[in-house]
């Protein structure tokens, strides 16, 4: 969409010759007459010497590359860079572990590492990696040996979260599911009664306190007795047996696939399901050979299958891979993220504490990408103008061909601040490149059914403060919009196909650790990391 309210034909003087973008230069001319403060800024610009600006972002070329299903895509899978793909995926998917680990990542790590000696013994017995086993336990149960995925022990249960059918049929674990279900129900009832008594103890008369304490103690003893009985009938709740079950599963899976990464991935997806994905990826070739032979002959890794499949490339594989429940396709990346957390817990607690604080600051990993104490924040319009001059900000342009357009209200509070709204229609070059990539790939996947609408881009602190009065989603704290690394896309789509394509691109770029995003009531808030340099 063309910008509104700016006369781009107006004389621009030395601003344009100095390299200031044309629309911004025109905005500066308007601002000279708008306020004394901006006049001072403009005079400062007139006195400034020449400077080196970064090369402009080629929005059209990036958009076209994103739409290609070949090696021209800057994010195309490269087997020589497999380690980087795995590392970035772990970083991109780690936020959920910091956000949702039971009792926090430190407590989950503390519980999990308590089993380290047992894990090492089991890993040695079954020929698997103890660090990966430990990470899987952190991810599966947070080190809790009694946890059930829900209330029915037929589902994943125990320290290693083994499903009852897998434990019985594949691992030959002693599981009396009927007895386990009955005992689990009694345990749940005892916990509920005890919790009710404990919550009411604070308001109870003094004369009843002793009786309440007696009842609570009795219920705790009953829970312990019932848990001990459940271990006798269901080996999944015995940590030693549960670890042996995980080790045996990984041994079987590694024999099936011939690779550790695929074995780990199958722990959540299932051996049969992952085998189907591999066969789909290799079709229409001959898939009659044993799976491990197919994997070796085709140099298949999980990174290759995952990052070399999409709605544009190997779409049939992607349809199958992405169709499993519980984000099964991202399991291996989360295991790698858990492995990193546990390594930091042991060896670099200060770095882990730093990451905990940064992940906890927002609903996304945006402050991990750009910590406040390490990132330039634009205080006012003068700071934004200077960033344009340096090339640290670039105007958002070329969107019509790329598949995005600017909302009319973008920068709408500029008028009340006495500045030109064109100042607020820019981004960091990496962020603009990411916007072009998102739009180009979304368009290609959806069949170019409409344009994405950008509703917010760069701001300064003055603009952010003004926004607080009218937008409940605006934060009074550190906003990544005031750094130029964030933009918002309106949650209004031209078709279901466009919405689904956009969702895929968001999730895939998160797996590259190029973005993280938050779903807000009216928009998708996207923050771009330095890894977006790959797109330029």
406-438: pLDDT as tens digits: 999 999 999 999 999 999 999 999 999 999 999
The mean pLDDT of 99-106, rounded to a whole number, is 98
Whether the Cβ atoms of residue 473 and residue 507 lie closer than 8 Å to each other: no
Confidence of residue 401 (pLDDT cuts 50, 70, 90): confident
Question: Each residue of 72-88: pLDDT tens digit?
Answer: 999 999 999 999 999 99
- Rounded CA separation 446/449 (Å): 6
Q: What is the mean pLDDT of the chain?
A: 90
Question: Each residue of 292-346: pLDDT tens digit?
Answer: 999 999 999 999 999 999 999 999 999 999 999 888 999 999 999 999 999 999 9
Residue 229 clears pLDDT 50, i.e. is over it: yes
Name the nearest CA neighbour of 485 among 426, 442, 440. Answer: 426
Whether the Cβ atoms of residue 412 and residue 374 lie closer than 8 Å to each other: no
The mean pLDDT of 112-139, rounded to a whole number, is 98
The mean pLDDT of 103-117, rounded to a whole number, is 98
Model's pTM, two decimal places?
Answer: 0.88
Which residues are CB-neighbours of 182 under 8 A, at least 6 positions away?
none
- Rounded CA separation 180/171 (Å): 17
Q: So what's the pLDDT on residue 55?
A: 53
Residue 200 clears pLDDT 50, i.e. is over it: yes
Q: So what's the pLDDT on residue 203?
A: 77
The mean pLDDT of 178-188, rounded to a whole number, is 97
- Rounded CA separation 437/403 (Å): 9
Question: Each residue of 481-533: pLDDT tens digit?
Answer: 999 999 999 999 999 999 999 999 999 999 999 999 999 999 999 999 999 99
Which residues are CB-neighbours of 104 under 8 A, at least 6 positions away?
356
> Where are the strands (E) in 366-433, listed by range?
394-395, 404-406, 426-427
The mean pLDDT of 143-164, rounded to a whole number, is 97
Confidence of residue 149 (pLDDT cuts 50, 70, 90): very high
Residue 53 clears pLDDT 50, i.e. is over it: no
- Rounded CA separation 305/135 (Å): 22
Question: Each residue of 242-285: pLDDT tens digit?
Answer: 999 999 999 999 999 999 999 999 999 999 999 999 999 999 99
Q: Supply the DSSP symbol for 162.
A: B
Tokens coding 289: 């050979």
Confidence of residue 470 (pLDDT cuts 50, 70, 90): confident
Domains of the chain: 56-65+367-535 (3.30.1380), 96-244 (no CATH)
Q: So what's the pLDDT on residue 69?
A: 85
């Amino acid at each position: 969409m063309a910008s509104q309210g700016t006369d781009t034909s107006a004389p621009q003087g030395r601003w344009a010759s100095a390299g200031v973008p044309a629309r911004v230069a025109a905005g500066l001319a308007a601002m000279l007459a708008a306020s004394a403060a901006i006049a001072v800024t403009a005079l400062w610009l007139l006195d400034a010497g020449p400077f080196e600006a970064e090369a402009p972002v080629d929005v059209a070329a990036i958009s076209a590359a994103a739409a290609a299903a070949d090696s021209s895509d800057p994010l195309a899978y490269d087997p020589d860079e497999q380690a980087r793909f795995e590392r970035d995926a772990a970083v991109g998917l780690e936020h959920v572990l910091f956000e949702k680990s039971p009792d926090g990542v430190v407590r989950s790590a503390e519980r999990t590492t308590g089993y380290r000696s047992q894990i090492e013994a089991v890993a040695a017995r079954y020929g698997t990696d103890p660090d990966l086993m430990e990470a899987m336990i952190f991810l599966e149960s947070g080190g809790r040996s009694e946890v059930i995925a829900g209330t029915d022990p037929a589902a994943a249960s125990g320290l290693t979260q083994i499903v009852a059918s897998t434990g019985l049929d594949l691992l030959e674990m002693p599981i009396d599911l009927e007895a386990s279900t009955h005992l689990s129900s009694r345990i749940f009832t005892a916990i509920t009664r005890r919790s009710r008594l404990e919550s009411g103890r604070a308001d109870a008369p003094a004369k009843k306190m002793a009786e309440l304490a007696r009842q609570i103690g009795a219920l705790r003893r009953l829970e312990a007795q019932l848990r001990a009985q459940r271990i006798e009938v269901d080996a999944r709740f015995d940590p030693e047996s549960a670890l042996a079950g995980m080790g045996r599963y990984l041994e079987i899976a590694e024999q099936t696939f011939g690779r550790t990464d695929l074995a780990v991935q199958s722990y959540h997806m299932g051996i049969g399901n992952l085998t189907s994905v591999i066969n789909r990826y290799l079709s229409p070739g001959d898939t009659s050979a044993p799976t491990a032979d197919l994997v070796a002959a085709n140099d298949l890794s999980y990174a290759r299958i995952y990052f070399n499949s999409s709605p544009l490339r190997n779409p049939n594989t992607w349809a199958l891979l992405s169709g499993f429940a519980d984000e099964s396709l991202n399991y291996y990346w989360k295991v790698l993220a858990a492995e990193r957390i546990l390594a930091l817990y042991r060896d670099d607690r200060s770095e882990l504490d730093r990451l905990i604080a940064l992940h906890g600051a927002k609903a996304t990993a945006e402050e991990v990408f750009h910590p406040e104490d390490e990132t330039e924040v634009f205080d006012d319009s003068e700071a934004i103008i200077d960033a344009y001059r340096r090339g640290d900000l670039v105007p958002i342009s070329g969107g019509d061909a790329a598949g995005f357009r600017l909302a009319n209200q973008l920068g709408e509070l500029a008028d009340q601040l006495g500045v030109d709204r064109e100042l607020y229609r820019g981004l960091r070059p990496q962020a603009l490149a990411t916007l072009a990539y998102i739009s180009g790939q979304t368009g290609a996947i959806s069949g170019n059914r409409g344009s994405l609408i950008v509703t917010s881009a760069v701001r300064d602190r003055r603009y952010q403060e003004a926004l607080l009065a009218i937008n409940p989603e605006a934060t009074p704290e550190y906003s990544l919009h005031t750094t130029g690394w964030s933009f918002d896309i309106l949650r209004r789509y031209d078709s279901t196909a466009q919405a689904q394509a956009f969702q895929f691109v968001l999730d895939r770029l998160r797996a590259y650790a190029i973005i993280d995003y938050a779903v807000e009531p009216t928009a998708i808030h996207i923050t771009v990391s330095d890894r977006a340099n790959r797109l330029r």
